[in-house]
C-alpha cells in the first residue's frame, strides 16, 4: 500500500475505474473504492489486497460524504455522468476537496461548466471534467499546438482508432446522450454547441504515419467541443472518427474490450491528430498509444497529482489545457502516450 494522499474513486469497479485504482497505487496514492454496487465493491476488494471500500449512491448525500471522508481528492469514473457528476461534485464541494472526472458525455460536461463555474470559482474549488482520452487529451494537444497563438480560426481533432469495443459504461452514457438529444446530432460551430439533423459526411483524413490516410466520419462530435472552447478562442471545433471505429460503436453486438497484455489493456491502438489553423498558418500535435480506456487512468491520476502539489494555473471549473501546463503535462504522459508537436 502507498503512503501518499488518499484519493476516493467513485465507480472504482468499472472498466476504467479499475485502471484508475491500479494507477493510483503505482503512483503511491491510497485509493478508496466507492460506487453504487456493494457486491461489485466486495469483489474488487477481494482482488485488490488492502483496498478499502465505501459503498455510496448518488441519491444519498450522507453516504457520499462518508465515501469522501478523509480523502484529498475524488476521481469520478461512474457514468452516465449526466446522473453522477453533479451529486459527486456537490459532495466534493462539501468536503472541500478537488474533483476530477473522466466524462466523455458532451452534455454532462457542458452541464458541469454551466452549473458550477461561478460557484467553484467563488469558493476557490478545483473541478476538472473530462480528464480522459476524450475531452482531456484532445484539449491538451490543441493547447500545446497553439503555442504562442492567442486565437485560431479552427481546431480539428481526428481520432484514428483501430477499433472501438465499448464498455458497458460507454453504452449507457451513449443511451442517455441520445435521449437528451431526441434523435438530433450535435456539433460546435460559430462559437457554440448546435443541434442538427444533417447527415454526417465522410471524408479522407491525412493521418500521419504509422496510420496514413483513412476514411473518417465528419462531425463525429466528442467532448473536445466542450473542453477546447471553454478556454481557447476558437469558434470552429470539429472532431472526426475513423469509419471502422464508428461502425464498432454503432453495432450493438460489438463486444466489450478484452485484455491483451499483462497490464489488462486491449489490443486497440489509437492515433489522435490535432490541427489548429489561423489564417493561412497551421500547427499540429499528434498522439499515439494503446487502449483509450487504459490511457485515461494516467491522464486522470496525473491531474490529481498536479492539483494536490499546486501545479495548477486557475481555480473553478477548468479543462485540462486551461488549468495545467499542456506541453509539460503531455511530457509526463510519455510512458503511456507518444506525442509529437509539429509547428
288 in the same domain as 222: yes
3-state secondary structure of 132: coil
The pLDDT of residue 223: 96
Contact between 233 and 151 (Cβ < 8 Å): yes
61 in the same domain as 167: no
Radius of gyration over every alpha carbon of the chain, rounded to an integer in angstroms: 19
Q: Where residue 303 sits, what CATH number does that domain have?
A: 3.40.50.720
243 in the same domain as 161: yes
Tell me if 249 is assigned to some domain: yes
280 in the same domain as 154: yes
288 in the same domain as 235: yes
To 10 degrees, the CA torsion angle through 22, 8, 338, 223?
130
Q: Where residue 176 sits, what CATH number does that domain have?
A: 3.30.360.10
Tell me if 275 is assigned to some domain: yes
140 in the same domain as 121: no
d(CA 131, CA 303): 7
Tell me if 1 is assigned to some domain: no
Tell me the β-bridge partners of 282.
Answer: 277
Contact between 301 and 131 (Cβ < 8 Å): no
Contacts of 181 (CB under 8 A, 6+ apart): 107, 195
163 in the same domain as 47: no
Range(s) of the domain holding residue 180: 133-292+336-342
The pLDDT of residue 1: 54
To 10 degrees, the CA torsion angle through 262, 265, 269, 274?
-120
Edge to edge, the sheet with strand 99-101 lists 52-55, 30-35, 6-10, 73-76, 99-101, 126-128, 316-317
Kindly tell me the sign of the dihedral angle through the C-alpha atoms of 92, 300, 161, 139: positive
Alpha helices, DSSP H, located in the chain: 15-26, 38-47, 61-68, 81-95, 106-123, 138-146, 168-181, 224-227, 243-250, 292-308, 320-323, 326-332
pTM over 0.95: yes
Which of the 8 DSSP states describes residue 137? I
How many domains, in total, are found in the chain?
2
288 in the same domain as 173: yes
Tell me if 206 is assigned to some domain: yes
The pLDDT of residue 171: 95
Contact between 325 and 144 (Cβ < 8 Å): no
The pLDDT of residue 343: 72
d(CA 251, CA 244): 11
Which of the 8 DSSP states describes residue 326? H
288 in the same domain as 140: yes
315: exposed, middle or buried (C-beta count within 10 Å: 0-12, 13-18, 19+)? Answer: middle
The pLDDT of residue 2: 66
Contact between 322 and 314 (Cβ < 8 Å): yes
The pLDDT of residue 218: 95
Which of the 8 DSSP states describes residue 136? I
240 in the same domain as 319: no
268 in the same domain as 305: no
d(CA 323, CA 186): 26
d(CA 129, CA 152): 23
Tell me if 162 is assigned to some domain: yes
167 in the same domain as 100: no
| Residue 80, preceding peptide bond in cis (omega within 30° of 0) | yes
The pLDDT of residue 3: 78
d(CA 98, CA 127): 6
d(CA 168, CA 247): 17
Q: One digit per residue, pLDDT tens: the chain, 343 residues? A: 567 999 999 999 999 999 999 999 999 999 999 999 999 999 999 999 999 999 999 999 999 999 999 999 999 999 999 999 999 999 999 999 999 999 999 999 999 999 999 999 999 999 999 999 999 999 999 999 999 999 999 999 999 999 999 999 999 999 999 898 988 989 888 888 989 988 999 999 999 999 999 999 999 999 999 999 999 999 999 999 999 999 999 999 999 999 999 999 999 999 999 999 999 999 999 999 999 999 999 999 999 999 999 999 999 999 999 999 999 999 999 999 999 998 7
Tell me if 60 is assigned to some domain: yes
Instruction: Quote the cell numbers at residue 194.
Output: 448546435
To 10 degrees, the CA torsion angle through 206, 208, 213, 216?
-70
Please report which helix (H) or strand (E) contains residue 79, including its range. none
Amino acid at each position: 500500500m502507498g503512503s501518499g494522499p488518499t484519493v476516493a474513486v467513485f465507480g472504482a469497479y468499472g472498466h476504467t475505474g479499475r485502471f484508475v485504482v491500479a494507477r493510483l497505487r503505482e503512483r503511491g496514492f491510497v485509493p478508496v473504492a466507492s460506487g453504487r454496487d456493494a457486491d461489485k465493491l466486495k469483489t474488487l476488494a477481494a482482488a485488490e489486497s488492502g483496498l478499502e471500500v465505501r459503498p455510496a449512491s448518488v441519491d444519498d448525500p450522507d453516504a457520499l460524504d462518508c465515501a469522501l471522508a478523509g480523502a484529498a481528492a475524488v476521481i469520478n469514473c461512474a457514468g452516465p455522468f449526466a446522473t453522477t457528476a453533479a451529486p459527486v461534485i456537490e459532495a466534493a464541494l462539501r468536503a472541500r476537496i478537488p474533483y476530477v472526472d473522466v466524462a466523455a458525455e458532451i452534455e454532462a460536461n457542458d452541464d458541469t461548466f454551466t452549473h458550477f463555474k461561478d460557484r467553484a470559482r467563488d469558493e476557490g474549488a478545483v473541478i476538472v471534467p473530462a480528464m480522459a482520452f476524450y475531452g482531456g487529451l484532445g484539449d491538451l494537444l490543441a493547447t500545446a499546438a497553439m503555442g504562442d497563438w492567442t486565437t485560431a480560426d479552427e481546431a480539428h481533432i481526428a481520432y484514428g482508432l483501430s477499433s472501438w469495443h465499448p464498455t458497458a459504461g460507454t453504452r449507457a452514457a451513449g443511451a442517455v446522450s441520445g435521449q437528451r438529444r431526441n434523435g438530433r446530432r450535435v456539433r460546435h460551430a460559430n462559437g457554440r454547441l448546435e443541434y442538427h439533423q444533417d447527415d454526417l459526411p465522410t471524408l479522407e483524413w491525412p493521418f500521419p504515419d504509422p496510420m496514413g490516410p483513412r476514411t473518417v466520419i465528419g462531425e463525429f462530435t466528442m467532448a473536445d467541443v466542450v473542453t477546447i472552447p471553454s478556454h481557447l478562442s476558437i469558434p470552429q471545433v470539429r472532431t472526426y472518427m475513423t469509419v471502422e471505429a464508428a461502425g464498432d460503436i454503432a453495432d450493438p453486438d460489438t463486444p466489450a474490450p478484452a485484455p491483451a497484455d499483462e497490464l489488462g489493456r486491449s489490443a486497440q491502438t489509437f492515433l489522435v491528430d490535432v490541427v489548429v489553423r489561423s489564417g493561412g498558418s497551421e500547427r499540429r500535435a499528434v498522439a499515439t498509444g494503446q487502449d483509450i480506456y487504459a490511457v485515461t487512468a494516467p491522464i486522470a491520476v496525473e491531474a490529481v497529482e498536479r492539483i494536490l502539489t499546486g501545479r495548477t494555473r486557475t481555480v473553478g471549473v477548468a479543462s485540462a489545457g486551461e488549468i495545467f501546463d499542456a506541453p509539460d503535462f503531455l511530457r509526463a504522459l510519455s510512458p503511456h502516450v507518444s506525442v509529437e508537436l509539429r509547428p
